[in-house]
């Protein structure tokens, strides 16, 4: 067996007024706990360093600049890189990126214990809207604050603890799109890491969506994606109530059979850990999802037509 010990480090709420040091301090404590529990990789949520700021409207984009990172690491995030080195743990971090050219992305990185960024991904499926929407109960302005990611869905072979694994990243809403999973499945992905911030209620005000279906749809998407592409998935939430706005948590680690191996039960900072045998990926990949034998791309042309 090729065992790697993966952890999802769920974060409880981060309030609008909280500075980076609040989130980073909590994350360092989670990395220490992860180390004590034998984890080799820790997956933090989407936009882990701040509150989920796309719910707040800024007419002038420049007024939103304080939500973005312009360097990684920076003085504020250096303690994460130091903890990675100290504990010998890799980590996945979601953050808002502003490039030197002024481009803005919803970004995730995988950082090796040495501090090297071994994989970077920029969110492709941006939910919500670009302009203030008076019909909504709460704004979801990702299309205002981010460009569509320009890196595709890269998968790299990266050191993961004592093993090497094919790793891919996605971010939040991407998990609901089978195309994102399949593009990584086609690259023999073995571990998908993703972070999410998902409100407990649908805030679009365009019809009723039952409250209890929100977690169901999240888990359904991650479990189906992992099963249909014969990979592990670590899906880490931001959870709890941020300035009155509830996020549903329920972080999970899923195996290539689509089974939940570990699940968070609080809506606070919480670490869940699972020993994942990467050899499990071979079963699906060599039988029902042996793409070379059974996939029929000639019948899928509509998928890539506009």
Interface with ligand CDT by CB under 6 A: which residues? 46, 127, 172-173, 176, 196-198
Only one residue has tokens 């360092």, namely: 28
The pair of structure tokens assigned to 33 is 């706990």
Distance CA(51)–CA(75), nearest Å, equals 19
CB nearer ligand CDT, residue 94 or residue 284: 94
Q: Pick from 92, 56, 267: which is nearest to 191 by CA? A: 92
142 is catalytic: no
Evaluated on CA atoms 166, 170, 176, 177, the torsion sign reads: negative
Catalytic-role residue among 123, 190, 270, 276: 123
The minimum distance between CB 52 and ligand CDT, in angstroms, equals: 7
CB nearer ligand CDT, residue 160 or residue 237: 237
Beta carbons of 76 and 21 less than 8 angstroms apart: yes
Beta carbons of 197 and 45 less than 8 angstroms apart: yes
CB nearer ligand CDT, residue 33 or residue 182: 182
The minimum distance between CB 91 and ligand CDT, in angstroms, equals: 20
User: How many CB atoms within 10 Å of residue 147?
Assistant: 14
CB nearer ligand CDT, residue 194 or residue 272: 194
| Residue 288 phi, psi dihedral angles, 5° rounding | -65, -30
The minimum distance between CB 139 and ligand CDT, in angstroms, equals: 12
Catalytic-role residue among 46, 142, 242, 270: 46
Catalytic-role residue among 172, 231, 276, 281: 172
CB nearer ligand CDT, residue 210 or residue 299: 210
Distance CA(232)–CA(293), nearest Å, equals 22
242 is catalytic: no
Evaluated on CA atoms 255, 258, 262, 264, the torsion sign reads: positive
Beta carbons of 280 and 3 less than 8 angstroms apart: no
281 is catalytic: no
Residues carrying an active site annotation: 46, 123, 172
């Amino acid at each position: 067996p090729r065992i790697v010990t993966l952890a999802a480090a769920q974060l409880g709420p981060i309030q609008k007024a909280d500075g980076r040091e609040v989130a980073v301090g909590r994350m360092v404590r989670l990395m220490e706990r992860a180390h004590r529990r034998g984890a080799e990789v820790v997956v933090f949520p989407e936009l882990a360093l701040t509150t989920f700021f796309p719910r707040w409207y800024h007419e002038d984009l420049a007024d939103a600049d304080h939500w973005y990172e312009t360097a990684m690491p920076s003085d504020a995030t250096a303690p994460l890189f130091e903890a990675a080195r100290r504990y010998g743990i890799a980590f996945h971090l979601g953050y808002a990126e502003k490039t030197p050219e002024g481009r803005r992305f919803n970004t995730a990185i995988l950082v090796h214990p040495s501090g090297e960024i071994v994989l970077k991904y920029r969110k492709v499926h941006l939910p919500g809207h670009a302009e203030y929407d008076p019909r909504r109960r709460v704004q979801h302005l990702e299309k205002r604050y981010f460009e569509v990611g320009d890196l595709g869905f890269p998968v790299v072979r990266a050191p993961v603890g004592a093993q090497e694994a094919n790793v891919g990243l996605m971010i939040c809403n991407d998990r609901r799109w089978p195309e994102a999973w399949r593009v990584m499945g086609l690259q023999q992905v073995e571990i998908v890491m993703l972070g999410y911030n998902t409100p407990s209620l649908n805030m679009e005000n365009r019809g009723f969506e039952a409250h209890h279906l929100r977690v169901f749809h999240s888990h359904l998407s991650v479990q189906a994606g992992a099963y249909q592409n014969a990979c592990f998935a670590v899906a880490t939430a931001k959870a709890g109530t941020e300035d009155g706005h509830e996020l549903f948590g329920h972080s999970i680690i899923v195996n290539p059979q689509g089974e939940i191996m570990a699940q968070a039960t609080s809506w606070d900072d919480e670490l869940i850990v699972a020993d994942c045998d990467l050899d499990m990926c071979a079963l699906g990949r060599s039988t029902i999802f042996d793409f070379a034998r059974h996939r029929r791309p000639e019948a899928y042309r509509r998928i890539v037509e506009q």
